[in-house]
Amino acid sequence: MGPVLLAAIVTLGLAACAIMTVAQRRLLRLPAPPATRQPPVTILKPLRGVDPGLEANLESFFALSYPAFEILFGVDDPADPAVDVARRVAGRHPEVPSRVIADPRCCGVNPKVNNLANLLPHARHDLLLISDSNVRVRPGYLVDMAAHLEQPGVGLVSSPFRGAAAEGLGARLEALQLNTFVIGGVSALAGLLGGVCVVGKSMLMRAGVLRALGGFRFLADYLAEDQVCGEEVARLGLRPVVSGHLIDNCLGRISVAAFLARHLRWARIRRRMSPSGYAAELLLNPAFVALLGLVLWPSALTAMLFVGASLAKATLVLVAERAVGLRRPVGVTAGLSLVRDLLVGLTWAIPFVDCTVVWRGRRFHVGPRTLLFPEAAPE
């Protein structure tokens, strides 16, 4: 009975992965809505340190094909090395209004949201684009985002993003995670299932909607401020939507340990946002599940099931990555897929027993909806 049940579970997991792959391809092929209006936009760009490719990332925003926008760069320390990069890029584009604002004030414990809150009083326009420093875009990006926001009933627009400029094994695993599980999950939830799934690397919304949900002050104590923002927008009776316009998340060099740390941080977020949904994620690692079955019921049948699950999952990964424009050798993709499945499977249970994260040297307990509680320092 064990191997039969195992085969059913693995098949179910592969079917779920296939649905996510189909949803991803469907999202990325959707045409942009017609651009009826192009109101001016303020781009809020929080900075901290020099990310890989930061200068080229910032340059891509000055090259946007959009009639009127400004860029506000925010740091909490005027000596941050990102300041010189931002000013150097801005100096090459005097035609685009931009400012660097240094402000250390805090309205909560989330440093990114504190930075955004300090930028907001300087914004001149009603449309606010929140954009991470490791994002790189194409010229038509803002036209697409604004066109989505102009659709009736839409309150927030976010973007799918692919892992780009990956160097080293950890970064390639991170890119694979972004290009398959993350894009596929966002596409399936927001597209096929009608749920709310927002990743805050790229979000466009109106200032009035932000005020109505409580502003950055409300969001500043959450680890997953982006997802909470999307849920609150939905509670206001507006739709959070995902654009089909793909942007790049430039990764640079990441170690395997850093990849696992990032994965566990996101896993703790998903565990707190949806415990049942996170529990079901184990199915999305069919190679790991099949390997567990092989250990419990060693036989030629379970060995074949493990090999078949690994190859089937690698095929889906290959399709998903090619949908975002990434082509690797088939053998490399298969190897990365298997390593990723096994690492994620081995760490899957950790968020059920450990709900703490270390953020910039401080340890926090992650509460409901990822509300952050600073842990007391040991005496």
- Please identify every residue annotated as catalytic: 226
Cβ atoms within 10 Å, residue 81? 13
Q: Is-contact 321 179, C-beta < 8 A?
A: yes
Backbone angles phi, psi at 110, to 5 degrees: -85, 110
Q: Is 55 exposed, middle or buried (0-12, 13-18, 19+ CB in 10 A)?
A: middle
Instruction: Calculate the alpha carbon distances from 93 to 59, 71, 119 in Å.
Output: 9, 11, 20
Closest C-alpha to 201, from 242, 160, 230, 164: 160
Q: Is-contact 133 237, C-beta < 8 A?
A: no
* Cα separation, 231 vs 240, whole angstroms: 8
Which strands, in side-by-side order, build the sheet including 356-359?
356-359, 362-366, 372-374
The single residue listed with the structure tokens 């584009």 is 93
